[in-house]
């Protein structure tokens, strides 16, 4: 396996690293912008890059449905197709097993999806199929096909899930075509049962992957449960491989997960929030529809260098109230810029041995709590 990871330094359990791929390096802890259908919604790839984003995420299920792996391969892969020239990670379709559960039939061999587009055509995806499509997409980081369970769930259901996704993980790795600068990650499951999380982590490390994801969290459980599961799993994973917490999350979730040893994150939150008039700032979130911003000449965040923060809150409020597309674009770019500033500051604080100090100061400013 040929995806390389350097662990540069640590501060407690917080880790500062670097991942080397065929399409460039990225620094960790890292936040990946979600580009489900080969686009980060409302932004060009140049606008995404301007935020400091190093990695984007695509989705195997959605790209299988439209435009199809064969077409993307003919176009030269996702990098050429989308215009993003940095590293790309692709989710395997396992999250859609949960999010589209009313359109899914689970079998040992794989997953049958009824099209969410027209409700007619059925598509069967085996672990091997998911890996093959990700190869067609030319994804730098392939994820094994798994099944994401919504919490809460029963122990019996979680046990069955762990056993099946372990078998699928082995099949996924066997189907993966090893090449320089590309890798495949296993996904730890086990719901909110610590012993099942440990069982899953042990099984995946025995198979051996380029990196390890913690899946099945931020799906209905309280934050303390999520943190407990991370604290259970992280020490069991190899220190020389990157650790990825899937689908997380808020700035406070990210800080708590970094504190427990996580290196990589993704979430639709900053981009979705930008399209719905919510802005992230160092002093918390702002709803730009709120009338109090009508006459506010201040920038969103005076420490942010993004294009939106060169304008007034009043102007951004005006764009949102008029349903101008520019409003969604500016807020989306701002939110990604904010997240990438946060990740850069986290990396710097780990390098300087002051992560806990930075975390406490950020939370104080962000929440207003003393």
Q: Write the pLDDT tens digit of every residue in 49-85.
A: 999 999 999 999 999 999 999 999 999 999 999 999 9
Cβ neighbourhood burial of 234 (10 Å; 0-12, 13-18, 19+): buried
Question: What is the 3-class SS of 203-255, one letter each residue?
Answer: HHHHHCCCEEEECCCCCCCCHHHHHHHHHHHHHHCCCCCCEEECCCCCHHHHH
Q: Is 27 helix (H, G, I), strand (E, B) or coil?
A: strand
- 295 and 354: one domain? yes
State whether the Cα torsion 68-72-77-80 is positive or negative: negative
- 209 and 281: one domain? no
Tokens of 57: 């995420």
Q: Is the pLDDT of residue 370 over 70?
A: no
Average pLDDT, the chain: 96
- 280 and 192: one domain? no
Q: Which of 11, 91, 138, 301 is labelled catalytic?
A: 91
Q: How far is CA 85 from CA 23, 31, 336, in A?
A: 7, 17, 18
Q: Which of 138, 253, 263, 266 is labelled catalytic?
A: 266
Residue 266 known to be catalytic: yes
Q: Which of 215, 249, 267 marks a domain boundary?
A: 267
Q: Mind listing the pLDDT tens digit for each residue in 254-274?
A: 999 999 999 999 999 999 999
Element (H, E) at 56: strand 56-59
- 136 and 219: one domain? yes
Supply the CATH number for residue 245's domain: 3.20.20.105
Residue numbers of the domain that contains 316: 274-367
Helices (H) and strands (E) in the chain, counts: 14, 16
Q: Which of 267, 287, 310 marks a domain boundary?
A: 267
Dist. CA 197–CA 205, nearest whole Å: 12
- Count structural domains, the chain: 2
Dist. CA 2–CA 181, nearest whole Å: 5
- 361 and 235: one domain? no
Q: Tell whether pTM > 0.85.
A: yes
Residue 146 known to be catalytic: no
Residues in the chain: 370
Q: Which of 214, 246, 267 marks a domain boundary?
A: 267
- 159 and 287: one domain? no
Dist. CA 115–CA 368, nearest whole Å: 45
- 239 and 142: one domain? yes
């Amino acid at each position: 396996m040929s995806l390389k990871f350097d662990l540069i330094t640590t501060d407690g359990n917080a880790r500062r690293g670097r991942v080397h791929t065929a399409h460039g390096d990225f620094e960790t802890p890292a936040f990946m912008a979600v580009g489900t259908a080969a686009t980060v919604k409302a932004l060009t790839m140049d606008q995404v890059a301007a935020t400091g984003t190093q990695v984007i995420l695509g989705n195997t299920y959605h790209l299988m449905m439209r435009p199809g792996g064969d077409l993307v391969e003919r176009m030269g892969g996702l990098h050429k197709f989308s215009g993003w020239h940095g590293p790309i990670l692709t989710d395997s379709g396992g999250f859609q097993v949960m999010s589209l559960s009313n359109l899914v039939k689970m079998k040992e061999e794989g997953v049958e999806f009824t099209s969410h587009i027209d409700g007619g055509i059925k598509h069967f995806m085996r672990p091997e199929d998911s890996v093959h499509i990700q190869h067609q997409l030319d994804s730098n980081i392939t994820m094994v096909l798994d099944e994401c369970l919504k919490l809460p769930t029963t122990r019996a259901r979680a046990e069955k899930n762990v056993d099946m996704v372990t078998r699928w993980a082995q099949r996924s790795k066997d189907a993966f075509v090893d090449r320089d600068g590309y890798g495949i990650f296993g996904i730890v499951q086990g719901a909110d049962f610590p012993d099942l999380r440990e069982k899953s982590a042990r099984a995946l490390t025995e198979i051996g992957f380029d990196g390890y994801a913690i899946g099945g969290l931020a799906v209905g459980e309280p934050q303390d449960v999520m943190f407990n599961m991370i604290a259970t799993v992280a020490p069991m994973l190899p220190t020389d491989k990157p650790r990825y917490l899937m689908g997380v999350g808020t700035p406070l979730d990210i800080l708590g997960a970094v504190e427990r040893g996580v290196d990589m994150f993704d979430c639709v939150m900053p981009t979705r929030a930008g399209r719905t008039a919510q802005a992230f700032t160092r002093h918390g979130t702002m709803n730009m529809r709120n009338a109090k911003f009508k006459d506010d000449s201040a920038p969103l965040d005076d420490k942010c260098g993004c294009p939106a923060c060169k304008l007034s809150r009043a102007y951004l409020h005006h764009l949102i109230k008029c349903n101008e597309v520019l409003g969604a674009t500016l807020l989306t770019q701002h939110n990604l810029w904010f997240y990438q500033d946060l990740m850069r500051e986290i990396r710097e604080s780990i390098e300087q041995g002051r992560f806990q100090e930075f975390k406490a100061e950020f939370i104080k400013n962000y929440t207003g709590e003393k």
